[in-house]
Structure 1
């Protein structure tokens, strides 16, 4: 009884501190010019404080403008507990670490150790850098130039974070050559072990009280803990997932398996190199490695010729099946030979260890025995990635979210039809508090949603394309540029871009011309540009004010029925007597559309028009699920009213 009273007192104390921080006389009001208390923000902050005290699960959809970042950071910091904040994107991760956390720590005069930890491929590897510079004689001129620029930066950086590298393009072919990777790491045998940027970042995280990571890294770390291996992150009291809507799909990756053929090819080449420079008496290593490399290439070429991504269908190809198992047989023979030379070369021992892991994954993929998983071949420029993705990760996730930790999940887009149960079911969250907090913005007066009349069916590609371009031209001219055009497919983007180029005088920025951040920077600088993008621009993009007055979306973002994971999930749902459209397609499309819509109104003073060129949202019964989940914008079917609204935005 006494212990419970103490807990109640401490909870009340944290909640009171949090509430006071948001008051008209509180720390925020004293520190932020023009601060206005938002009731929805305080409601969320108090709920987070309560969840922290009770070590409970909390799921919050916080609409744009709620101020969810401060609503979870302030109670987390004031609690004094060990905190991990996980995000879905690098942009938010860096905003939290470099902007939001320093500002709050300064306001509240707090001094906990804070660390930013990214996946290892975000850090420069000094060993690879030295290796690449030693082999520059046969290198492309542009790659060599970029490597020299990176090497100059390497002498100045303190953390080796590639995010701070501005001297070369983020798409430079040199970057993949010099970033840290598990497959190329040689551990304590490395000459740069003491200076290693990845190791330094990890050591810093272990000492920190507040750690900012991303979902990929967090899940990888939790799964390592489950298997009993050494982990990167300390045990925490509070874990906050921002951009939590991304978690279920990312979890599929980590509870599945993948095997990249590029890694296999690199190991075979490495083994030939070891024979030539270290083990000249082991001719079989060269012969078998060469045969494996040739067979791998032959197998890949056969797949490229077929082009199918569904391994279950591909298995019926007898010639491909024979080739697949011949490859496994040859790799097994190579492993046997390598085992006889264990201990003679550290590099050989390392290569054998990595080959064994990849060979097991390859064989598991070829067997294709799990009916509750999708088996997919992803085609790259030269290599393949083989993926096994489970169709349901709820049970696996449930094991990760252990008791005695406060688990906070938040995003601007979690609900379907005002219901959060789809999200909680996907992650196996049986017991949790759920909150739906509406945006405080005045959507009714500041935003207009237009679905133009007389649209052709989206299935009639030619007619839909012509009409879509016509709508874009009218809207872009009315908005004086200042428009995002978001597409559900690269095919439609590539068809629209050249047609639009001929008909509008405003600058067109097209996804693929440069990296995402470069395009956004140019968009902001120009002030009257039109940006055309697919999935990458539907979320994690924040352009405020009159710079973005119009968002145009080509059609409702339903997942492709050819997606292997979708097909596997659909079959499972049908076996359970349920409807795959209602259970998978519709919910995913609603959340994706909400993300795209969320680009339009980012501030209480923002005004803008959303145009959707898909009349299924008003003609089909399921359209109501989309409408119920969107912000409460004024609506019209009259495109002229939408263009008039745009023309009035100053």
Structure 2
């Protein structure tokens, strides 16, 4: 069958079952890889079109008033599908609507073979940043002239399908064969396309040198890079002149380059720190160009001395920016070769050996696992790194990926054929040969706490986004235990008669005296362990709910939090919890004992394969970490130096519980394990100071003044001309229990400002609960035909997706909490107004803050001034930094929290941001100021 008909619909809503109707049909016909025909009609839905849909599509009630009904056009539509595939971008939606209308109007429903371009794009373009039609079209260079109109979308979907068909035809025989094996579980009817391609390849003698095949698995052949070692004769001053000064490479090779004095100054401070073996704290305000400022001396130092240097970032977003934008730019500027390598933890890299073994078992595959396998099969033919962060797996695909990451490999034999093909080993080798290693804070800290065995040796390191180092280090010195992970692990091991890990291993060696093994005992104990975990976590959930009726602490992700200390939890209920934990530890020890017997028995018979031995040892290891964690949480003596707390999903299952433990003060550990051992550590960020002082961050990280350089680099932006800070003096005071009134006043201010700035507002909350209440109130009062309201945790999608949606619509208001306070760049006209609802203090009963405060008090200091205020100021500076991202940006910062002007500590906030005009007046007066300013 070589006829494909693409359909796209515009409808009054998302659900045919809720009586939403079709308002426009667009179709294109493809034969012989060309679009040969199209069809389009508006339809009268006999109901009102919602304003949101009209805004999106440009189709209004007046446009469909005289249009035909579906009944009148059904015959024409059905005839077009004769003897063809049905293609749509999200088939269940379009086919669901068409078939509902056909059934309602007395026609037979369509039963064509289907091809879903969303699913096919996920499989064939696994690296695509998004699978929405518009963004896919942009990614693949397909012109889209009229988004959200049916015919234009159908044409684009048709062109997309032809690209997908082309991509399918480029895949090697082995990949096609594996896809054929799992095709039945996919939504698209791919059998014929895959089978035809397999037949073509079976009789083709063309070798593809870009692809390597081992044990039936096809993956991209990666050539080893040759490293060029150069000696640098030029002095550092001359090197900087050649880059920064008139006729330097910056001026010659960068378009619209504006010299920033702070950039060269920062480069010089970093170089000096390297020479005198000192550490440095450098706050580089927005617009300094700090990435280039630290890369320039880092590369010079590494190449000149022949000693590698590490650069660590907190977010993968910044890592990608360094690798994709900054490093290529610097290669152009410095005019000598240097090597850069990215190295992450083992869990980021796929294990080809594990994947090849897992690929053959389909017994328990659900749709997400099948889709994950298909995506990985195609991705392996194009990835150079094997880093899973390159692709977006479906949600439960990450559980499957856990089983096939390098983390699960155990000790790899260097003589194994898989070793030379290991992505992780290749990444390590590249890192060993590189001048610069880019990594993340998580791996840097894991390496630190594992006696520096993971990263290749280094003496100098630059830590960007350094305000996150303390929390990352605390997490790595701490532990986390949760119900989902424990049960998932036990389910993966399984009983002896299931086709899970243990059953599979025993099945392979069934002829080796297994009657001597305690198989029945394993099954009995496993059932008890799972029951005990369920019971314990339900009990913990109820305990937290009961305790929090007295004092309610809600995290910014909507979880209830409770800090516990064994000796202070005196109730009978807590004693029961301790007894349950002790009983669970005994049962877990029993499981480990049985696994050890099994491993020894099969080892004695000299039949146990390395892969199965690794699996058994891996299970023993993870069960032991469960025991260690339980003992630390419930049985160890409490100490001031550790904080332990429980988080419970307020809307989740009764056992959706997470247990944590972290050190209350990481400074002495960092001082002895890190700063004393390294020659130079450069810590930089846009937010390190409070009122121009570095003392807070210096104390929290354990940096001593005798080996420390500090410097604040001012922003080149003209904040006085670019920003107006507005603070109302007539908002209700929350302190007196006026929460609802405060939220009401906030929403009124949002509505008034939205009219002045035409939307384009980012509203930052410190509490998810307040965000949700504001969203509900705004939904009732906002003109939804004019403004698009997007809210974190309510509107679906990741932070990046919400940000893109915000930028897509002209008049949008984005409500964010937690992660939106930093790392979100919305430059230019897309953002004109930033509202900060409350100063970002952590609630005093937040578990970690409460414990750290007690620790500070015990040491005779003031927790508010030493911890609470500095953290809030740094968070505030991060939020403030969202507005101005370039020289041409202009905007308003509106702060609803009058504490910034009324409290004795308010000027710590205003004196910690760039100097901007501050306006304090009634809300009404401030609106006039805002209107005039714009």
Give the alignment's TM-score, normalised by structure 2: 0.64
Partners of 1:193 and 1:11 in 2: CA distance? 39
- Seen in structure 2, the aligned counterparts of structure 1 residues 362 and 441 have a Cα distance that, compared at 3 Å, is same
Indicate yes or no: 2:689 matched with 1:415: yes
Partners of 2:430 and 2:919 in 1: CA distance? 54
How big is each residue's C-alpha offset from its partner over 1:434-489, in whole Å with a ceiling of 9 and x where there is no partner?
11122121111110111112011134210111000001111122111111111111
Indicate yes or no: 2:698 matched with 1:424: yes
| 2:328 match | 102
Indicate yes or no: 2:256 matched with 1:34: yes
Partners of 2:815 and 2:421 in 1: CA distance? 42
Q: Which one of 219, 222, 230 corresponds to residue 445 of structure 2? A: 219
- Seen in structure 2, the aligned counterparts of structure 1 residues 392 and 184 have a Cα distance that, compared at 3 Å, is same
| 2:535 match | 298
SS at match of 1:441: coil
| 2:400 match | 177
Give the number of the structure whose alpha-carbon radius of gyration is greater: 2
Partners of 1:242 and 1:287 in 2: CA distance? 51
Residue 645 of structure 1 deviates from its aligned partner by 6.0
| 2:92 match | none
SS at match of 2:728: coil
| 2:776 match | 498
How big is each residue's C-alpha offset from its partner over 1:409-441, in whole Å with a ceiling of 9 and x where there is no partner?
111101112110111111111020011122121
| 1:286 match | 523
Partners of 1:233 and 1:401 in 2: CA distance? 16
Q: Which moved more, 1:201-210 or 1:582-591?
A: 201-210
- Say if 1:275 and 1:286, in contact at 8 Å, map to a contact too: no
SS at match of 2:412: helix
| 1:14 match | 236
- Say if 1:443 and 1:631, in contact at 8 Å, map to a contact too: yes
Q: Which moved more, 1:289-298 or 1:246-255?
A: 289-298
| 2:630 match | 362
| 1:481 match | 759
Partners of 1:240 and 1:113 in 2: CA distance? 17
- Say if 1:124 and 1:162, in contact at 8 Å, map to a contact too: yes
Partners of 2:616 and 2:475 in 1: CA distance? 30
Residue 543 of structure 1 deviates from its aligned partner by 1.5
| 2:487 match | 265
- Say if 1:268 and 1:290, in contact at 8 Å, map to a contact too: no
- Say if 2:841 and 2:868, in contact at 8 Å, map to a contact too: yes
SS at match of 2:247: coil
The structure whose RCO (Cα within 8 Å, separation 6+) is larger is: 1
Indicate yes or no: 2:426 matched with 1:200: yes
Q: Which moved more, 1:185-194 or 1:58-67?
A: 185-194
Task: Give the number of aligned pairs.
Answer: 634
| 1:311 match | 564
| 1:236 match | 458
Residue 643 of structure 1 deviates from its aligned partner by 4.2
- Say if 1:245 and 1:411, in contact at 8 Å, map to a contact too: yes
Partners of 1:142 and 1:101 in 2: CA distance? 36
RMSD: 2.7
How big is each residue's C-alpha offset from its partner over 1:2-48, in whole Å with a ceiling of 9 and x where there is no partner?
xxxxxxxx999324422442212222111112222222222111111
SS at match of 1:340: helix
Indicate yes or no: 2:591 matched with 1:334: yes
- Say if 2:344 and 2:439, in contact at 8 Å, map to a contact too: yes
Partners of 1:208 and 1:328 in 2: CA distance? 45
- Seen in structure 2, the aligned counterparts of structure 1 residues 590 and 133 have a Cα distance that, compared at 3 Å, is same
Residue 310 of structure 1 deviates from its aligned partner by 2.2
Partners of 2:904 and 2:640 in 1: CA distance? 33
Q: Which one of 578, 589, 595 corresponds to residue 861 of structure 2? A: 578
Residue 267 of structure 1 deviates from its aligned partner by 4.4
Indicate yes or no: 2:721 matched with 1:445: yes
Partners of 1:198 and 1:433 in 2: CA distance? 36
Q: Which moved more, 1:507-516 or 1:461-470?
A: 507-516
Indicate yes or no: 2:648 matched with 1:374: no
Residue 222 of structure 1 deviates from its aligned partner by 1.6
Residue 521 of structure 1 deviates from its aligned partner by 2.2
- Say if 2:243 and 2:333, in contact at 8 Å, map to a contact too: no
- Seen in structure 2, the aligned counterparts of structure 1 residues 443 and 645 have a Cα distance that, compared at 3 Å, is farther
Partners of 2:657 and 2:490 in 1: CA distance? 16
Q: Which moved more, 1:29-38 or 1:497-506?
A: 497-506
Partners of 2:569 and 2:377 in 1: CA distance? 45
- Say if 2:690 and 2:870, in contact at 8 Å, map to a contact too: yes
- Say if 2:670 and 2:701, in contact at 8 Å, map to a contact too: yes
| 2:886 match | 603
Indicate yes or no: 2:298 matched with 1:76: yes
Stretches of structure 2 that go unaligned for 5 or more consecutive residues are 1-231, 507-513, 546-561, 603-607
Stretches of structure 1 that go unaligned for 5 or more consecutive residues are 1-9
Indicate yes or no: 2:743 matched with 1:465: yes
Q: Which one of 494, 508, 533 corresponds to residue 789 of structure 2? A: 508
- Say if 2:728 and 2:926, in contact at 8 Å, map to a contact too: no
| 2:72 match | none
How big is each residue's C-alpha offset from its partner over 1:596-627, in whole Å with a ceiling of 9 and x where there is no partner?
00001111111110011110111110111111
SS at match of 2:734: coil
After TM superposition, list the pairs within 5 Å mapping 1:118-137 onto structure 2: 118-126=344-352, 129=355, 136=362
Residue 294 of structure 1 deviates from its aligned partner by 1.7
Indicate yes or no: 2:315 matched with 1:89: yes
- Say if 1:252 and 1:389, in contact at 8 Å, map to a contact too: yes
SS at match of 2:576: helix
How big is each residue's C-alpha offset from its partner over 1:369-419, in whole Å with a ceiling of 9 and x where there is no partner?
233110122346555443221111111101212456221111110111211
SS at match of 2:323: helix
| 2:342 match | 116
Indicate yes or no: 2:662 matched with 1:389: yes
- Say if 2:308 and 2:435, in contact at 8 Å, map to a contact too: yes
Partners of 2:886 and 2:732 in 1: CA distance? 34
Partners of 1:147 and 1:649 in 2: CA distance? 55
Partners of 1:335 and 1:132 in 2: CA distance? 24
Partners of 1:12 and 1:573 in 2: CA distance? 50
SS at match of 1:629: coil
- Say if 2:282 and 2:712, in contact at 8 Å, map to a contact too: yes
| 2:117 match | none
Partners of 2:926 and 2:361 in 1: CA distance? 59
Residue 192 of structure 1 deviates from its aligned partner by 5.4
Q: Which moved more, 1:622-631 or 1:493-502?
A: 493-502
Give the alignment's TM-score, normalised by structure 1: 0.91
Indicate yes or no: 2:814 matched with 1:531: yes
Partners of 1:178 and 1:444 in 2: CA distance? 50
Residue 188 of structure 1 deviates from its aligned partner by 3.0
- Seen in structure 2, the aligned counterparts of structure 1 residues 160 and 275 have a Cα distance that, compared at 3 Å, is closer
